[in-house]
Amino acid sequence: MSIIVSMSLDLAECDRARLARDPSYDGRFYTGVRTTGIYCRPVCPVRPARSANVSFFPSAAAAEAAGFRPCLRCRPETAPFCSAWIGSRATVERALRLIVEDGALDAEGATVERLAGRLGVGARQLTRLFTRHLRASPAKVARTARVQRAKRLIDETSLPMTEIAMQAGFGSLRRFNSVFAEVYGRPPTQIRRTRRPATKKVKTIETAGNLESLTS
């Protein structure tokens, strides 16, 4: 039986959207395929899995927390930022943007307590909101955002891995290699070897408009 994690979309709606590859749902939920251990965007070009074999998640971080790896075809790290499912929950939306776009939990000494203070709420309250709406803690959302930044840099640039690790928000190359391999099931160097040659080299990466945690 298909499973849907807490969010405003229902199971049947999500299933229709993924089977139709409806672009209006891109970024609103992610589909985990239990037979492959991979999670995808609703617009994934791969042949859709049977409905009985999928689970739905409100964020990339939630899918990863459940043990799914990102799809290398539809690239969840490039999904648009979408807060439609959040509705009026402005605190969660603001926190997400600070984490994803500003790297609010990446710098040395950054804490959930300081992030919550910027939003005018307590750390426990913010964590409860994330658990309720994203099924992942702020720390896990931030980890997913860092991995997704790194994945885009690997795909789109020829920067050395050390610089990618730093720009993505990791404190060290060792930590970057460890987390990336945990999420993708392979080291970043292997991902780079299998991609097409980068066409440009950049020094910074734009994160606006992309949801990255979602849901470590």
Which helix (H) or strand (E) segment is 127 a member of?
Answer: helix 123-134
What does the block give as tokens for 136? 């992942």
Which of 155, 172, 162 has its CA nearest to residue 72? Answer: 155
Active-site option among 74, 86, 95, 104:
74
Q: What's the CA gap between 99 and 142, in Å, rounded?
A: 6
Active-site option among 71, 95, 147, 168:
71
CA torsion through residues 47, 38, 22, 191, sign: negative
Active-site option among 4, 14, 38, 44:
44
Residue 71 a catalytic site member: yes
Contact predicate 78/152, CB 8 Å: yes
DSSP 26: B
Residue 14 a catalytic site member: no
DSSP 32: E
Active-site option among 33, 40, 54, 112:
40
Contact predicate 112/136, CB 8 Å: no
Q: What's the CA gap between 58 and 135, in Å, rounded?
A: 7
Residue 40 a catalytic site member: yes
Which of 214, 11, 216 has its CA nearest to residue 97? Answer: 214
Residue 82 a catalytic site member: no
Q: What's the CA gap between 208 and 86, in Å, rounded?
A: 18
Active site residues: 40, 44, 71, 74
